[in-house]
Structure 1
Amino acid sequence: MEIIQVKVKPNSSQQKIEIQEDGTLIVFLRSPPIDGKANEELIKLLSKEFDVSKSCITIRSGRSSKIKRVEIDQ
């Protein structure tokens, strides 16, 4: 189990992940932050990046914030 800090940038023109020097991920998402669409896209993108199923990823805090703490169970 690993908990990472993620900063989300919704409504971006491209979908990508950048890793900062302190280990924080900046995730650019195409989806708007409405009705949980950005959170769904975040989970899908992280599951591909870390090569785990979507069920292994949980947003522990910050569901309605741009800064989130995400647990990845590998």
Structure 2
Amino acid sequence: MSWLRETAEGVVLTVRVVPRAPQSRVQGVLGDALKIRLAAPPVEGKANTELVRFLADELDLHAGKIHLLAGATGRNKRILIQGLRAVEIVSKLGQS
């Protein structure tokens, strides 16, 4: 799967976010990114905060294990997830 890769630090996800959605949810794979719709607007970091909260809930992890590596001001983001393997993330996010 081109939207995630395991590294020594954890698993890096490539994500494409769509803010201002009716609810936060994984929409599926779009090219080489996982498309996630977020209920928060892209204002003052609210969408980034919602992305971390959403992933923490979906993956049953503490938000401190999820780090924004790149894309703080854009829709394309790279996220580092620590504490899970790639296969566990795929299973928990319902993507196969």
- The normalised TM-score by structure 2 is 0.71
Is 1:66 the equivalent of 2:86?
A: no
Cα RMSD (Å) of the superposition? 1.5
Any unmatched runs of 5+ in structure 1? Answer: none
Q: What residue number does 1:50 align with?
A: 59
- In the aligned structure 1, how far is the partner of 2:53 from the partner of 2:72? 15
Residue 39 (structure 1) shift: 0.4
Misfit runs of 4+, over 3 Å: none
Residue 61 (structure 1) shift: 0.3
- The normalised TM-score by structure 1 is 0.90
Of all paired residues, the percent bearing the same amino acid is: 30
Q: Which has the higher contact order (CA 8 A, sep 6+)?
A: 1
- In the aligned structure 2, how far is the partner of 1:32 from the partner of 1:50? 22
